[in-house]
Amino acid sequence: MSERQVKKIRKETPVEVKKVKKKSKSEILMNSVIVVFIIAVLGLGSWAVYSKYASDNAAEQTGVVDESNVVTDDTQTQIPTIAEAAAEAGMTTEDYLAEYGLDSRDDITGDTQLSVAVEYMTLANYAKLSGMDVSEFREMNGIDESFSDDMTMGEISAAMMEAANQETTDETEETANGENETTDNSEPSETE
């Protein structure tokens, strides 16, 4: 078949024209609203996850504890102060401080958060605050007998973190030493 014949056949065959239905303004508006809503939900979700991760990660890396009693989100639980915990226990602030061995510290007052004051409580007092006997508290929290009942929770926590860090360092050194040691099992080649 020649080129002329092919062109003639093309001209003779009708071309199917598809008609695209035009969308009304209300359909376009509705689709736009849906797209904007989906983008807003995805953006808000991403922001919430990122901000939670970033704040947790920053606190872990710097070791900074937020001691403010400000609650910025309704889903968070407010950390009680000593005065609030004492009132909940039906005690005065002074009695509460004396009960848990915190009355000798000048820097702990009724406005101090309970989570901060716990660092200065002895193991025995913190177990009492938790409603457990010392041996039960030790078992539940993995605290061995090498820590006395008179040590503060801050000292125990620091010693346990140091021990965990030392174990990690030792494991890393063992791994590094194991990888660096190479044995040469090949036989020497004889050259003449």
pLDDT per position as a tens digit, 14-36: 667 677 778 888 888 999 999 99
First to last CA, the chain: 80
* Per-residue tokens: 24: 């009304």
For the chain, what are the domain ranges?
26-53, 82-178
pLDDT per position as a tens digit, 46-57: 888 887 777 766
* Per-residue tokens: 165: 């860090």
- With a cut of 80, say whether residue 190 has pLDDT above it: no
Give the rounded distance of the alpha carbon of 44 from its chain centre: 19
Q: How confident is the model at residue 4, as a pLDDT?
A: 83
What is the percentage of the chain residues whose pLDDT exceeds 70?
A: 76
pLDDT per position as a tens digit, 137-162: 888 888 888 888 888 888 888 888 88
The model scores a pTM over 0.75:
no
